[in-house]
Amino acid sequence: MKFHPVSALTLGVLSAVPGALGWGAAGHEIIATIAEIYLHPTVMPTICAILDEDAKPCHLSSIASWADRVRWQMRWSAPLHYVGAHDDHPSDHCAFPGERGWNGRAHMNVLGAIRNVSGILEDWVEAREPEYVGNGRASVGGEGDPTAAEALKFLVHFIGDMHMPLHLTGRERGGNGAKVTFDGRVTNLHSVWDNFLIAERIRSIPYNYTRPLPSREVESVLRGAIYDPYVRRLIWEGLGEGGRWRDEWNNWLECPATPAKDTVVKTWRQFFLGSTLSQLLSGSGIAEETDDDVLCPYHWAKPIHALNCKLIWPKALDELGYSDININTDSNQAHDCHGHAVEEEVGLLDDLRAKPKPHEPYLELDTPEYAGVVRREWIVERLLAMGGMRLAGTLNWLFADLSGEEVQSRPRLWAEPLRV
């Protein structure tokens, strides 16, 4: 089958949707969409009941960016989107976390947050187990639960953040302070990975993927978003029966067999004794305190973090000496600035086609040696797919209504590679 680039009409439609793209928007929603495809059939009804969205179309993608939208109202949550180590300095050396541990406030990072929001939801399920006996978890009804809903929204988002490598290093606010150019536009390293690489892939998707796949599992989850063709391609060429990750995707959910030690998780019942959600979310972030044999954010994140030294932080960036600021990564203010750059998302697709001459000769990253490698090796696509599968596995573990035999084996993914 011959593939064709996206038509000019499609490009016009894409460029008319400013601010829609970025790991803070499209990237998170793509991860959530992939996860929904691989959920056990009993999971989405429970999720919709928690969110009190039974009366309208309910999808994981609709909540995937919520945590970014509220981070300035819930300022305590800002450090929970990332993690950085004192001794980490890509591309020279990568420490995760190294002898001096994590920087920033103790126990406030994305790894501990994933552990703890999962614990909140697990306790929510355990407190309601009698409701499910003989009826299935979908019978919880549509009354909603505000605290469980917040924990769920944070979980969907934080698992996405963990799969963006620059959210795992504190150097120059995860690359926000490292100026570069991409396709001639002055930007920063974080925005290249947050925004530009995904946007460029979406605007150049083969035309074939604008048409539905012969898979109800895929098409029933898509919502008519501009990234739908991209999701179809990830499934067809990546996760499908003959996809490039067919021999590895099931290993993405593997965790070390050693149970966690001293896992810091507040119970759901403690919430009713006076704990606030911000206190419930404050977990630790080292392997012994975040990982067990089912959920292991540190184990999953470590090889993602290593990409910062292998590829993402170019050595040439240090050789040229282009950085915006020298920042004290121990300061709370520095960490609060580690988020998605909103101004970079506005008019992004138009900016990709424009090539204003930079005022200074910053390092260009839209080159065969950098962006070309990312495209050829499907590095962004693999991270998005990995995040989606791990999110699906986590939600299945939390909410799937399984028979006794299934519970013994604790299957993490419901669907096998889709036959598309």
Domain harbouring 314, CATH code: 1.10.575.10
Q: What is the pLDDT of residue 338?
A: 44
Tokens coding 115: 């552990």
What is the Cα–Cα distance from 392 to 378, expressed in whole angstroms?
21
Could you tell me if residue 231 is inside a domain? yes
Identity of residue 31: I
Q: What is the pLDDT of residue 108?
A: 87
Radius of gyration of the chain (CA): 21
Identity of residue 299: H
Burial (Cβ within 10 Å: 0-12, 13-18, ≥19) of residue 403: exposed
Could you tell me if residue 419 is inside a domain? no
pLDDT tens sequence across 65-81? 999 999 888 989 999 99
Strand (E) or helix (H) holding 45: helix 43-51
Could you tell me if residue 97 is inside a domain? yes
Q: What is the pLDDT of residue 277?
A: 54
CB 31 within 8 A of CB 64: yes
What is the Cα–Cα distance from 407 to 42, expressed in whole angstroms?
14
Q: What is the pLDDT of residue 142?
A: 45
H-type helices in 253-338, by residue range?
268-271, 277-281, 287-290, 297-307, 315-320, 332-336
Burial (Cβ within 10 Å: 0-12, 13-18, ≥19) of residue 66: middle
CB 336 within 8 A of CB 79: yes
Tokens coding 102: 């994590």
How many CB atoms neighbour CB 192 within 10 A?
26
Strand (E) or helix (H) holding 37: helix 28-37
Task: Find the domain containing 375 and state its range.
Answer: 26-129+139-257+292-319+360-409
pTM for the model: 0.82
CB 173 within 8 A of CB 362: no
CA neighbor of 221 nearest in space, from 211, 230, 231, 210: 231
What is the Cα–Cα distance from 291 to 409, expressed in whole angstroms?
19
Could you tell me if residue 328 is inside a domain? no
* Backbone phi, psi, residue 312, to 5°: -70, -40
E runs forming strands in 38-138: none
Could you tell me if residue 350 is inside a domain? no
Q: What is the pLDDT of residue 401?
A: 83
Collect the ranges in the chain with pLDDT lower than 50.
Answer: 1-22, 133-142, 260-275, 324-350, 352-353, 405, 407-411, 417, 419
Torsion 168-169-173-176 (CA) sign? negative
3-state secondary structure of 172: helix
CB 130 within 8 A of CB 294: no
Could you tell me if residue 248 is inside a domain? yes
Number of structural domains (the chain) is 1
Could you tell me if residue 63 is inside a domain? yes
What is the Cα–Cα distance from 111 to 299, expressed in whole angstroms?
10
pLDDT tens sequence across 299-311? 999 999 999 999 9
Torsion 264-269-274-275 (CA) sign? positive
Strand (E) or helix (H) holding 179: strand 179-182
CA atoms lying within 13 Å on the CB side of residue 40 = 24
- Bin 175: left if φ > 0, else alpha if -120 < ψ < 50, else beta: left
* Backbone phi, psi, residue 320, to 5°: -80, -25
How many CB atoms neighbour CB 242 within 10 A?
10
Could you tell me if residue 206 is inside a domain? yes
Q: Which residues does the annotation mark as catalytic?
A: 23, 28, 68, 71, 81, 157, 161, 167, 190, 194
Measure Cα distances from 365 to 174, 196, 205, 372, 384 in Å.
Answer: 17, 11, 20, 9, 21
